[in-house]
Amino acid sequence: MDVLYFAWVRERIGLPKERVETSAATVRELVDELRAREARYEAAFADLSALRVAVDQDLADFDAPLAGVRELAFFPPMTGG
């Protein structure tokens, strides 16, 4: 699936988008996989309470299942308006 990063999450990971192949069942499992992979992911995902996740462009929670998901995005709380 495509994984997108925005704002300081993008800056900490160092790229806006990447293709990730995973057998993780939930968003949380994928986050754990990424954190174990490299320090920059650990830096971005250290505090999940500071992050939001969107699954196929809808806000979701970290226990959301990944089966059939095409696009996942991680970002800080939004500051629109």
In the complex, the smallest distance separating the C-beta of residue 79 from another protein, rounded to whole angstroms, is 5
Nearer to another protein, 22 or 57 (CB): 57
Shortest separation between residue 23's beta carbon and another protein, angstroms: 26
Q: Which is nearer to another protein, 68 or 77 (CB)?
A: 77
> Cβ distance 56 to 68 under 8 Å?
no
| AA letter at 21 | E
Q: Could you tell me which of 17, 39, 13, 30 has the C-alpha nearest to residue 66? A: 30
Contact present, 52 and 75 (Cβ < 8 Å):
yes
- Residues forming the site for another protein (CB under 8 A): 4, 6-8, 54, 57-59, 73, 75-81
